[in-house]
Amino acid sequence: MLTRILHHFDPVHSFFNELDIDLTLPQRQHMLNMADALLVCEDTKTLVALQRQFVQAPDASNMAVFSRISPQQAHDARDALRHDQVGRLLAEAKRTDASQVIYINIDDSLGEKDKATRHFQVVDWHHDHSESTQNKPGCKNGFCYLVCTMRVGKQTATVDLRLYL
């Protein structure tokens, strides 16, 4: 596999700079590395596979430490992202003179995992409505999550996503 990332993708870099997340310069660098690698990695997205996407590869343990013990809180990033997404939707509706009626959709979904996947708190066997018939219930190994999307005019964005534990 060829390495693909020489430098950060400018739109991703700009997007993260617009979010009001309090990160140190090294933390911001790790966040950008993870985002860029997740976008281009065609392999299974392990930390080692993500690290291999870079010409000047950061140590894979840096990504693990950033993900596991960084001082930032997930809710801070979620709040900043939600604020940005809602602001973008409203600004685009105003710019295009579209209706500024806000529609909120909340839906639960099932993320399918391999049948052998175990030892993750969120992964278990769940009833699958789309695979079930009247006579035979269907189940899948996976994780359940709740997603909240918001639509204003013709624009839609995900404003929150939570795993069921």
Shared-domain flag, residues 118 and 157: yes
Return the residue matching tokens 């979620």: 78
Residue type, 33: N
Number of structural domains (the chain) is: 2
Rounded distance between C-alpha atoms, residue 75 and residue 80, angstroms: 8
User: Range of 100's domain?
Assistant: 75-163
Out of 72, 95, 113, pick the residue that ends a domain: 72
Question: Would the pLDDT of 1 be above 70?
Answer: no
When pLDDT is averaged across residues 95-113 and rounded to a whole number, the result is 90
Over pLDDT 70: what percentage of the chain? Answer: 95
Out of 25, 47, 72, pick the residue that ends a domain: 72
Q: How far apart are the first and last CA of the chain?
A: 36
48 inside domain: yes
CA dihedral over 156, 88, 30, 145, signed as positive or negative? negative
49 inside domain: yes
Shared-domain flag, residues 150 and 133: yes
157 inside domain: yes
DSSP at 73: -
- What's the pTM value of the predicted model, to 2 decimals? 0.64
